[in-house]
Structure 1
Amino acid sequence: MSGTSYDAIDAAAVDVVVDGSSLVVTPLGMVSEPYSEELRAELAGALPPSKTTMEQVCRLDTGVGQAFAGLAKRANEELCGGRADFIASHGQTVFHWVEEGTVRGTLQLGQPAWIAEVTGCPVISDFRSRDVAAGGQGAPLVSAFDVLWLRAQAGRPVALNLGGIANITVGGDSPLAFDTGPANALMDAAVAHLTDGRQQYDHEGQLARRGKVHPELFARLLAEPYYDRPAPKTTGKELFHLPYLLDALKGLGSINTEDVIATLNRLTARTVADAVRSVQGTAVIASGGGTKNPALMDALQEELGGMDFTVSDQLGVPSDAKEAIAFAVLGFLSVHGIPASVLSCTGARHASRLGSITPGSGPLVLPQPMGNAPESLRIGGARQ
């Protein structure tokens, strides 16, 4: 998969077995490769608020599919000894169509036929569309993994993903999941713009650490109506992009780069913490690229106060690979005939079996359907 930051493709390999009413998921490793400069530039030029053409969409669908195929082949050979049963591909989200809080459609590019052709494996793809068709938000689909995994945790734990957009899943008896707002999306856009492309992100939070929060800019950004909308809800770079930030900066005079980044860093921390408090979370388990930013992690701990705060690596789930692992599990559920969406998390009318299947080089043979949906998930070899 590749997330909303669209900087690299991640491929995680997992072994999944059924143990009674539980899934046992053992991570086998991850490989990652950046998009080529040409493909990343083409993606950036086609994403909202830019205008695009059907030719660009076709070229991107092919280019992303071929890039995914190359990495999937490498992952199968290096991590699975060439014996992968299925490949689950999230694709690259290029548009998430939301009108007045209702998701009308979602588009992930990365033609799965290229993956099937290169690897010979069946491919499960296009996970989000079925949930949207059932009236859901199509996100955060990682909630299906989180809800099962968090059942081993006490209290009301919260799984936090810090990608381009931040999202949380709340465990316990009444699970809930939603996008809280930007994680790295606005910071990355600001860094690239304010450094004239010399930097693409705030390396180790150095810019944020040197800056101070600008009170008026912070107030303007916090006034975004999205934060007050009820869950379930989703958002993306269709809203939180560079022109959005530039509009917020109008009339504020000259603000140095470090102060802008410090303000955006605090915005992510504050909106995540507000969301966690709104659902009475008792602990936070973080994952995603944002966990590599010490300034963001420090700000989050400050905003969360004394709440228990940890990174998923400490519980056996590599933070860089967590979303890719989660979609592998969604693929496992799909091919075993199990619905892989959680109604209270996506807001759909009913739970759905997600994804479409592209056959591999041989006849398509699906596993026997599982009799009952799993009730929990544990990580093989991890401390629980």
Structure 2
Amino acid sequence: MADPIPGTTLPPAKTRFPLRVVGLMSGTSHDGVDAAACDLRLSGDTLVLTPLGHLSVPFSTALRCELVAALPPSTTSAEALCRLDTGIGQAFADVAARAVDELCAGHADLVVSHGQTLFHWVSEDDAGAAGRVRGTLQIGEPAWIAEATGLPVVSGLRTRDVAAGGQGAPLVGLFDTLWLAGRPGTAVALNLGGIANVTLLPTTDGAPVTFDTGPACALLDAATRYVTNDHLAFDADGALAARGLVVPDLLARLLDEPYYRRPAPKTTGKELFHLSYLLDRVGPTPPTAEDLLATLVALTARTVADAVRDTATEVVASGGGTRNPALMTALRAELPGVVVRTSDELGVPSQAKEALAFAVLGWHTWYGLPGVLPRATGARHPRVLGSVTPGADGRYPPGRSAGVARPGRLEVSPPV
């Protein structure tokens, strides 16, 4: 754990470089907290990332039940929201403290917390055009993390992107663009979390695009809980889906969702893709459990493939969906001639990739560098993302005064 120095403020010259950062992430599966630790240092114009390990800690049953009860399409109250903000913040704080002790040998410089998305407000704009993001809410008060670790905490990264006209998600475009730069052909980064998102790397105009393609594990997990009466939280190893057959009529109804036809950049979440949404489209005569899950696997594979098939020569996948062989097999079948591999093959653990991406975003914030690329999310301008909660020593980011230039590449280096 970091040694707090009450009442002192370290000047920018004292800021440690390289920086040891812990990234914290809880995605749209809302099942727990992923923590990833890394060292980040500049070598010329290359940001070198050395992973130090990662861990995943599930939310307690009580906390997860409270969270699920507050998620759309349910309603909630100010009291429930306050309790959740505190409970999620304390859960993140416990995981951060564990990560500092277990992954960083007791020493880290910075924590970056994504928090837990409770609501992503996507609605029509004043002219009636669909898909404008008006706001986003991530809960998990960072003060609990700062108190538990004594370290400064970067949080609230999505909101600034929304304020600048962006979608607020996905924010992994900077990481993906730096990391996959220079690979042969056209590499596309894919995350298969609750929602699937992709980063299409820059073309001749130099502008990457990041967007959500649609549901990945969100509908699969919801359907698994439903058909097993909550005995299973997810379809482990895609076993149920592998025994089923795709139902063409149901797949056609699911593919008729207007979201898929909207232009990128765009974002979505469980505000749209939830159990009630699915049951409305299944209708009064549901298929077998196996056929339902096989059809949902086909839905994710098709919508991801439609987003990248004219662009990608290589797809680098991460997230929980990579552990579903049925989904990965279906995706490869939809993309003949395209290499589909996991991020593990390139040195980034697939279960830690988003937490590492937020660690890199926090590094940029710490040094006053923009964390969003122009046009990647639809933002009008590049912006430094997030807010900083000081640690026990009152330390604030050095910003540009540290003389750190924006990196042009990201290299993943194995631990020594």
Shift of 1:365: 4.0
Separation (CA, whole Å) in 2 of partners of 1:370 and 1:32: 35
1:259 paired with 2:291, answer yes
- C-alpha contact (below 8 Å) 1:337/1:370 kept by paired residues: no
Matched length: 380
Residue equivalent to 2:106: 82
Aligned to 2:197: 167
Per-residue Cα deviation, 1:203-226 (whole angstroms, up to 9, x for no partner): 100010111111111000000010
> For residue 34 of structure 2, what is the aligned residue in structure 1?
10
1:170 aligned partner, one-letter code: L
Q: Which of 283, 295, 300 is matched with 2:314 structurally?
A: 283
Distance 1:31 1:254, change over 3 A: closer
**Residue equivalent to 1:46:** 70
**In structure 1, what is the equivalent of residue 135 of structure 2?**
105
Q: For 1:27, what is the secondary structure of its paired residue?
A: strand
**1:1-384 equivalent positions in 2, closer than 5 A:** 1-99=25-123, 100-173=130-203, 174-251=207-284, 253-278=285-310, 280-367=311-398, 368-381=401-414
1:12/1:325 contact within 8 Å kept: yes
CA RMSD of aligned residues (A): 1.1
User: With structure 2 as the length reference, what TM-score do the two structures score?
Assistant: 0.90
User: Counterpart of 2:54 in 1: which secondary structure?
Assistant: strand
Unaligned 5+ segments in structure 2 are 1-24, 124-129
Q: Deviations over 1:126-153 (max 9, x none)?
A: 0000000001001110111001111131
1:186–1:241 CA contact under 8 A, matched in 2: yes
Deviations 1:149-200 (A, max 9, x none): 1113122210000000000001133411100000000010011011110011
Give the SS at the match of 2:26. Answer: coil
Mapped contact 1:343–1:351 kept (Cα < 8 A) = yes
Once residues 403 and 369 of structure 2 are traced to their aligned partners in structure 1, the CA distance between those partners, rounded to angstroms, is 7
- Secondary structure, in 3 states, of the residue corresponding to 2:190? strand
Conservation of the 8 A alpha-carbon contact between 1:124 and 1:355: yes
Q: Report the AA paired with residue 206 of structure 1.
A: A
Structure 1 CA distance, aligned partners of 2:292 and 2:413? 42
CA contact (8 A) 1:157 1:172 kept: no
User: How much has 1:371 moved relative to structure 2?
Assistant: 4.3
Residue segments in structure 1 that go unaligned for 5+ positions in a row: none
**Contact 2:189/2:200, CA 8 A, preserved across alignment:** yes
Rounded to whole Å, the distance in 2 between the matches of 1:92 and 1:102 is 21
Relative to the length of structure 1, the TM-score reads 0.97
Deviation at 1:352, TM superposition (A): 0.6
3-state SS of paired residue (2:362): helix
Aligned residues of 2:388 and 2:396 also touching (Cα < 8 A): no
- Give, in angstroms, the shift of residue 351 of structure 1: 0.8
Which amino acid is the alignment partner of residue 179 of structure 1?
Answer: D
Q: Give the letter for the 1:49 counterpart.
A: P
Corresponding residue SS for 1:319: coil
CA distance in 1: counterparts of 2:109 and 2:77, whole angstroms: 36
Read off the aligned partner of 1:145 and give its amino acid letter. Answer: F
Does the 8 Å CA contact 2:313/2:337 hold for their aligned counterparts? no
Looking at structure 2, the residues matched to 197 and 343 of structure 1 have their Cα atoms a distance apart, in angstroms, of: 43
